[in-house]
Structure 1
Amino acid sequence: MRIARAAALLALFPAACSAQSSPTSAPTPRPAASPEMPVAEQPVAAPTAAATAQSAMLPDRTLSCTLGRITNPDPSREQTDAEIVYEGKHAFSLLLPGGPARTTPPPDATDDPDPVNPRTRILADPDGLTRGFPNRFDRVIDLWPQRVEMTTTIDQPRVNLIIVNPIDAAAGTAMLFMTQATDAATFDMQHLYRGPCTVKTAAAPRG
């Protein structure tokens, strides 16, 4: 795992967001080491035509995760996965509704967000990691199986940010990262959670 700059996540945040109320500025923890580029360096692009042709409709995806709080993030340097220390084990479950796969780039930060499927929601959070937050998402960029990025407004300009990456659709696994943020590179260092998920798929409801 690396801690990498989060410039590519700007599409998730309105341009008016600022860093004025976050306790600490820090880059985004990157999920487990892989041959992929860090999330912050990946281009925000639509799936290829070939991939879309093979899977024009995404299924419903239920993510059942076990998250730990990262206790030793060091924003001054890159950290290896072996260096990261976690505290606790928190069950967390999320529903990503199915629908047409994205064939166009996501909206820019200054554009209105795409409509969010109202079925998108947190299914279970028994330890209250998101207690008091609205159980709805303001922005969702669903690039499955590349990654998924989503935000919920807590109170302006503070949001809860979830990143699902990397994803192994064939194995039915993914990694989920969650934090509170005031802009795309300013995170609450006391609320950095990450952990593995199992993914169960089902056909999306018709109509």
Structure 2
Amino acid sequence: MILKLGVVAAVSAAGLSLFTFQSGSGVAPAGALSVGDAPGVAPTSPGQQAGAMIPGRRLDCTLGRIANFDASRVQEPSEYVFEGRHEFSLYLPAAPVRTTPPPDPVDAPEPVDPQTRIIADPDGLAKDSESSPFNRVVDVWPQRVEMTKPINSVSVTLIIIEVTDQSQSSASMFLTKANDAATFDLQNLYSGQCRVTLGASGKAAPS
């Protein structure tokens, strides 16, 4: 069931930023910036000079379906009830450290490295978009990565990754089907934890 969520509930559910999506009207939802943790440019540390590279990353994740999402209110993550265990693996190739803000959602997306891909999805969480490459990736690692993969001319598979420790060895993932920044498929909201392998080559065959 595709349901239009309130902006507050939608952004709270995924920490959605304005960089991945435009709304159906072509502008970002009102108030979205004031809710959740919209990412900016990843802070540059002394070891991250201009021209520095983020290494390739493989994420091996275990996701569960959020069975009790309530669009009428803001829920704490501890309230979620999960159903099932689904293995899901993703490869993010090496990329330059971002030193400028990501493009606005209404702008044309930046080119996506064709190595960016789903490595394993045995339960078909992203099956509807398996024939399409990722068309938009906003990579502000080690903070966050937002990605979309077209299902059709209206809907996409949306993936949001947030690094959860300073060693960058683990991350959380949110995956769903979406039409815009406030329209999610409530029967397909998945969340879970990932093991991150830095410096991965991504030689596994794409799914």
Do both share a fold (TM > 0.5)?
Answer: yes
**Cα RMSD, aligned residues only:** 2.9
Pick aligned residue for 1:50 from 45, 48, 55: 45
Q: Distance in 2 between matches of 1:169 and 1:142?
A: 17
CA positional deviation for 1:12 = 1.5
Partner of 1:162, secondary structure, is strand
Kept after mapping to 2: 8 A contact 1:97/1:120: yes
Describe the superposition over 1:41-98 as per-residue Cα deviations: whole angstroms up to 9, x where unpaired.
3344222343632992111100000000000001111222332111100000000001
So what's the TM-score if we normalise by structure 2? 0.79
1:62 paired with 2:58, answer yes
Deviates more, 1:50-59 or 1:129-138: 50-59
Please list the CA deviations of residues 1-43 of structure 1 after superposition, one character each: whole Å capped at 9, or x if unmatched.
x95526953322356578xxxxxxxxxxxxxxxxxxx995334
What amino acid does structure 2 have at the position aligned with 1:77?
R
Q: 1:176 to 1:16 in 2, by over 3 A?
A: same
Do the aligned residues in 1 keep the contact of 2:172 with 2:191 (CA within 8 Å)? yes
Partner Cα separation in structure 2 for residue 69 and residue 130 of structure 1: 13
Q: Secondary structure at the match of 1:5?
A: helix
Check if 1:5 corresponds to 2:11: yes
In structure 2, the partner of 1:191 is: 188
Give the secondary structure class of the aligned counterpart of 1:42: coil
2-side partners of 1:171 and 1:40: how far apart? 25
Which whole-Å CA distance do the structure 2 matches of 1:154 and 1:145 have between them?
28
Matched residue of 1:82: which SS? helix
Change (3 A) 1:101 1:107: same
Which residue in 2 is equivalent to 1:31? none
Instruction: Please list the CA deviations of residues 131-150 of structure 1 after superposition, one character each: whole Å capped at 9, or x if unmatched.
Output: 24135101000000110000
The alignment covers a number of residue pairs equal to 186
**Larger displacement relative to structure 2 (112-121 or 167-176):** 167-176
The one-letter amino acid paired with 2:151 is I
Amino acid at match of 1:168: D
Structure 2: segments with no counterpart, 5+ residues = 1-7, 27-32, 203-207
Match of 1:29 in 2: none
Partner residue of 1:123?
Answer: 119
Q: Please state how far the C-alpha of 1:127 moved relative to its aligned partner.
A: 0.9
Q: Are residues 190 and 76 of structure 1, via their aligned partners in 2, closer, same or farther at CA, if it must alter by over 3 Å?
A: same
Post-superposition CA distance 1:179-206 (Å, at most 9, x none):
010101110100000010000011669x
Pair 1:142-2:139 in alignment? yes
Distance 1:131 1:113 in 2: 23
TM-score by length of 1: 0.79
Bigger share in strand: 1
- For the Cα contact (< 8 Å) 1:8–1:39, is it kept in 2? no
What's the % identity of the aligned pairs?
A: 46
Alpha-carbon distance in structure 2 between the residues aligned to 1:110 and 1:129: 27
Partner secondary structure for residue 60 of structure 2: strand
